[in-house]
Chains A and B, each alone.
Chain A
Amino acid sequence: MEKKVSRNLGEVLRDEMYMRGQIIKILAEGPKTITEIAGELGYPPDEVLRWVMGMRRYGLIIEMPKEGR
């Protein structure tokens, strides 16, 4: 994937609300890593990490134990 220029942090974090529906759809297929989710979304993994961790924080998704991945 082509590297994007770092975006404004506030904008990235704001996007969590917009992206979470798409992330939930992707994770409905099964557990995935940050880079796998980023690959499917077409967004940089560092941005996806922030969205996923935000979703985890508020109980929308859970983290699988390593052996379960």
Chain B
Amino acid sequence: MGRNSNVDYDALIVGAGIAGMESALTLGDMGFRVLLVEKESSIGGKMILLSKVFPTLDCSSCISTPKMAATANHPNIKVLTFSEIDAVSKNLDGTFLVNLRKNPKFIDPVKCTGCAQCETACTVAIADEFNSDLIARRAAYIAFPQAVPKKAVIDRKGTSPCSFTCPAGVKPHGYIALVRAGKYDEAFRLHLEDAPLPGCLSRACYAPCEDECTRGQLEGPLPIRAIKRFMVDRYYIEHPEPEYGIPEKLNVKRVAVVGSGPAGLSAAYFLARSGYSVTVFESESEPGGIMRWGIPSYRLPKDILARDIKNITALGVKIVTGTRVSSTQKMKEDGFDAVFMAVGNTGGRRISIPGEDLEGIVDCMDFLKSCNSDDRPDVNGKKVVVIGGGNVAIDCGRSALRLGANEVQLVCLESNDEMPAHKWEIQQAVDEGVAINCSWGPKAVSDVGGKATGAEFVCCTSVFDTSGKFNPSFDESKRKSFDADIVIMAVGLLPNTSPFSSEVELNRNGTINADKETLQTAEPWIFAGGDALTGPSMIVKAISQGKRAAYYIDHYLQGMPMNSCHFDERLPMVDREAVLSRTPGDISDRKPVSLKLKPINEWARSFGEYESTMTENEALYSANRCLDCGGCSQCRQCVAACPADAISFDMRTELEDLTVGSVMLSTGFDIFNAANKPALGCGRFPNVINAMQMDRILAPTRPYNAVIRPSDGKAPSNIAFVLCTGSRDQKVNNRICSRVCCMYSLKQAQLLMGALPLADITIYYIDIRAFGKGYDEFYEQAKGMGVYFVKGKVARIEETTDQNLGVFYEDIEGNGGTRRAEHDLVVLSVGVLPTQGALCLFKDGSLKADPFSYIDEVDEDLEPGKTSIDGVFVAGTAAGARDIPDSILHSDAAAAQVAAYLKKTGKAS
């Protein structure tokens, strides 16, 4: 047949269960070009998951798999798995516009060999829908062993809130999943993939990830930083030196980094990993910037920083200390191809008050630098006033107490609630003895003989004006003064960028002006980042800046357009409410482990760490509180395990519009959720299962490799089937017969008698509907095998102390009344329900449903498969409950209707 240029495909078939496959094969054999779209990662639908088919007891897999293979390999059939149809609308010319959505598989199907090593390596366990939730699959998974195509996909629902929030792109979900699985070294290495200073972050990060943790809406967020600390400490004890060395593939280009704070070190790390020759210039005697000289060692021990820096120097990064850079131009002359300026904040902001230059006035950064040196400031027995309300002011106050200050008064403009310092740090400072004085603004420093003796303050009535701008107001009538030997000014930080004012453009506040995305300055070879660009920030944000700079410097040095890609390509954050709704009901109350602080009398006057590292059990418990918000944690174990290098987290949803000549809906059916009949105990009693679960237990690819009851793994000896669960039942709004429950129960009963010859099998029924060819004989066969039939409606099921089940039923045929029988396993023969998705495909509502919400056939008897829309057809159980032979028959009838329509209307050539 020649191609009709008006359509991409002659027919679109939605749903690749047995009906969809059969229709596709029939149409394909007729020469029509078919697009078969399946939302799961494999075709086959529900039939491939069944054990046997009735009444022949043929192996369901043996029948399904040839159909699946034939479908996938048919020259006229294009199969798209893991794809969905968002909408279908009819064009004026009678063809159909199809909005197709190809969901990202995150594994390249061309490379994937189906070896399943990604599954084995994956650290996230998720209920396996292909095994009716009897067992867990992994976030990386192949749907089932006979999947067609036999390709793995990764279940990513979005980026987990913790991982989405981290400015540096660290993946807390990933390393927490690894810690939970006991893979501590792998957890550390994952962190190192994303950020080079895990030790410093494990101590001094303010952990914005914890603020976003979904568990925070329950008992409290995961202690993510503390888990990281456990992971880092364990790794550093076992690995005093990095496990790697200089990259094998080196680049001839050279990059200079000015400043060895978190931004500079981070940039150097990522550039060196890309093979660049990197030299870091540091004006101080030791590298680390704010981490070495600003943050007190009780918060960040310097040996941890030193070990962190080894992660960077091991790559061949040269750090030149004691060298102050004052010209980037000179660096270019020295042969550097690019420069990253990460000079940080090295000085405190000044305020213009009388006495500001007196002896005894100390800049906060100078003070903290001295505290972090061998030449610590002499404040022993002295009165100290700290002006400022941020974290640096708190650090100064706490450090002064540790150095023996007699008294520390911290005075700030802000009210207690407005203080920029973190609440827990303020509380710790108060616990140690720092006196906090809020809502006071500095007026003057008093002096005797040119030496500061105290500070005077006026009451601050408000810090910000109505527009939110910093614009303090004062009540001059209210004053307060403090005696002081030392006054520490901690009212803000300034970057030391003035030496470069002739080489790069500076903003009014002294920060460097550069592109916010690429960090490139007006001089293409100069990049700038960290606090010198953003102003005072957090370590993790500075690391993010360094990482970003390295990314774009690499682009620049490779000659790639700077706008050709984006640094941050994370998937959108998953909705936390959606995460909680995924796990409804009885989530255990798992209280967070409290941070372990040493007794205050041990640490309040010591520069040693005051927080202890979690124990292994605490870390495991804490990690196991993770809700796996995003599905896949991005722990990258699959990447390491995949021999075909097929994993690609960069894949994204692809949208495509197609034109087709006709549409067939074969979207199958849903199974009644037996939890909606709570009296029957499904979901409450482990030994009450539904029939689909029993079919999985009996299937060749069964999850348990034996027929066992879920409560204890023992073989059941007295099994009951409860028919008409969720069908022929007004109470659950499904009053019709599901047409398959009687027969599949007879099938399962016979299979169970084969698997467990000594077991008693009882079927509770209202009436047995054995209407098809060979069905009644099948029923008689079951009776002949010894299946016990009880005509009686089951009202409720109760669990006994040994997890057997008391079945209460109405005895219809016997003496009447309510009776109780005991079984050790109950199978609820659940009914089938219409799926809702297909009806929503046509946004104009033109696709009609029948009274039971199945897709309506305009004339079921004379025109099978035709729907209310000309050119749209329905096949199989999407049109009504039916068994497999009837579904196949219906599919072929519908396919014939499609073929006739295409011929008649000329929508296919």
Contact = CB atoms under 8 A, between A and B. Distances in A.
A65 B574 CA distance: 45
Secondary structure call for the B interface: loop
Interface stretch (B130-138, B369-377, B565-573, B643-651): B130-138
B711 A45 contact: yes
A16 B135 CA distance: 10
Interface in B682-716: 683-686, 703-705, 708, 710-714
A15 B620 CA distance: 11
B135 A54 contact: yes
Contact of A18 (B135, B138, B180, B586): B180
A28 interface: no
Given A18-B623, A34-B713, A45-B713, A10 B135 contact: no
Interface of A: 5-11, 13-18, 20-21, 33-35, 38, 44-46, 49-50, 52-54, 56-59, 63
B586 A7 contact: yes
A14 B628 contact: yes
Contacts of A16: 125, 136
A11 B587 contact: yes
A49 B693 CA distance: 15
B126 interface: yes
Contacts of A20: 181
A48 B177 CA distance: 20
B136 A50 contact: yes
A66 to B, nearest CB: 10
A56 B120 CA distance: 11
B308 interface: no
B5 interface: no
B169 to A, nearest CB: 24
A17 B123 contact: yes
B583 A11 contact: yes
> Would you list the 10 A-B pairs with minimal beta carbon distance, nearest first?
A34-B713, A46-B686, A18-B624, A13-B136, A45-B712, A10-B583, A16-B125, A54-B136, A46-B711, A17-B181
Interface string B671-689: 0000000000001111000
Given A34-B713, A50-B136, A13 B127 contact: yes
A36 B126 CA distance: 25
A12 B675 CA distance: 17
B138 A58 contact: yes
B119 interface: yes
Contacts of B123: 17
B773 interface: no
Contacts of B683: 6, 9
A6 B713 contact: no
A50 B134 contact: yes
16 contacts: A6-B586, A6-B685, A7-B588, A8-B583, A8-B585, A8-B587, A10-B127, A11-B583, A13-B136, A14-B136, A14-B624, A35-B713, A46-B710, A49-B710, A53-B134, A57-B135
Interface string B165-188: 000000000000100111000000
B692 to A, nearest CB: 15
A54 B713 contact: no
A49 B686 CA distance: 11
A35 B415 CA distance: 60
Contacts of B711: 44-46, 49
A5 B373 CA distance: 58
Nearest to B124: A17
B559 interface: no
Given A17-B180, A50-B135, A59 B124 contact: no
Contacts of A14: 124-126, 136, 624, 627-628
Given A13-B125, A46-B711, A53 B180 contact: no
Contacts of A8: 583-588
Contacts of B710: 46, 49-50
B687 to A, nearest CB: 8
B582 interface: yes
B586 A5 contact: yes
Contacts of A35: 712-714
Interface of B: 119-120, 123-127, 133-136, 138, 177, 180-182, 582-588, 620-621, 623-624, 627-628, 683-686, 703-705, 708, 710-714
Contacts of A38: 712
Contact of B712 (A10, A18, A34): A34
Contact of B686 (A6, A10, A15, A18): A6
Contact of B177 (A17, A21, A45, A56): A17
Contact of B125 (A5, A17, A21, A46): A17
A31 to B, nearest CB: 13
Most central of A14, A15, A21, A50 by chain B CB within 10 Å: A14
A48 B173 CA distance: 25
Contacts of B125: 13-17, 54
Nearest to B711: A46
A49 B710 CA distance: 7
Given A6-B686, A45-B711, A53 B119 contact: no
B126 A13 contact: yes
Contacts of B138: 58
A11 B713 contact: no
B588 A11 contact: yes
A35 B709 CA distance: 12
A13 B139 CA distance: 12
A14 B125 CA distance: 5
A4 to B, nearest CB: 9
Given A13-B126, A18-B620, A59-B120, 10 more contacts: A6-B586, A8-B584, A9-B683, A14-B124, A17-B125, A17-B180, A46-B712, A50-B134, A54-B136, A57-B135
B705 A63 contact: yes
A55 to B, nearest CB: 10
Contacts of A45: 711-713
Most central of A5, A16, A53 by chain B CB within 10 Å: A53
Most central of A8, A14, A17, A52 by chain B CB within 10 Å: A17
A8 B441 CA distance: 55
Contacts of A33: 713
A12 B53 CA distance: 32
A15 B712 CA distance: 18
A53 B588 contact: no
Contact of A53 (B120, B126, B181, B703): B703
B588 A49 contact: no
A9 B127 contact: yes
Most central of B123, B624, B704, B713 by chain A CB within 10 Å: B713
A3 B180 CA distance: 26
A43 to B, nearest CB: 12
Contacts of A57: 135, 703
A10 B120 contact: no
A58 B138 CA distance: 10
A40 to B, nearest CB: 14
A34 B182 CA distance: 22
A52 B685 CA distance: 19
A24 B138 CA distance: 19
B231 to A, nearest CB: 15
Contacts of B181: 17-18, 20-21
A49 B124 CA distance: 18
Contact of A15 (B177, B624, B704, B708): B624
Nearest to A48: B713
Contacts of B588: 7-8, 11
A6 B120 contact: no
Nearest to A50: B135
A11 B623 CA distance: 13
A67 to B, nearest CB: 15
Nearest to A47: B686
B288 to A, nearest CB: 36
B629 to A, nearest CB: 12
Given A11-B587, A17-B181, A18-B620, A6 B684 contact: yes
Contacts of B182: 21
A47 to B, nearest CB: 9
B375 to A, nearest CB: 49
